[in-house]
């Protein structure tokens, strides 16, 4: 029972940490965001995005889209991976 409670608490903590986002329509309606926009959308600094990359949450080729030499992030894919990585 304690293990289940701990898992639920971990999930809730993770969801609160990663999904407290500003309501910015011109950012949140986009599917692909650059690093600065993604950090702003998630309410974090750009270094937070770099830390996600170091932790293995962001995987090159899966989340990165190169358009006109810019690295763009797929917001939906990253949010799903953040949720799945909470349980690791």
Rounding to the nearest 10 degrees, give the CA dihedral for residues 34, 36, 41, 42: 110
pLDDT band at 54 (very low <50, low <70, confident <90, very high): confident
- What is the total count of domains within the chain? 1
25 found inside a domain = no
Domain with 56, as residue range(s), is: 2-19+30-86
Average pLDDT, the chain: 65
What DSSP string describes 27-70?
Answer: HHT-SEEEHHHHHHHTTS-HHHHHHHHHHTSS-TTTTEEEETTE
pLDDT for position 84: 73
The position carrying tokens 């170091």 is 54
Residue 56 lies in a domain: yes
pLDDT for res 26: 46
Residue entry with tokens 């799945």: 84
pLDDT of residue 22: 43
């Amino acid at each position: 029972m304690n293990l289940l409670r701990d898992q639920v608490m971990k999930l809730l903590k993770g969801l609160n940490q990663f999904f407290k986002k500003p309501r910015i329509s011109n950012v949140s309606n986009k599917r692909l965001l650059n690093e600065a926009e993604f950090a702003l959308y998630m309410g974090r600094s750009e270094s937070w995005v770099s830390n996600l990359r170091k932790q293995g949450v962001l995987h090159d080729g899966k989340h990165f889209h190169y358009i006109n030499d810019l690295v763009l992030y797929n917001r939906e894919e990253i949010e799903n991976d953040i949720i799945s990585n909470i349980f690791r």
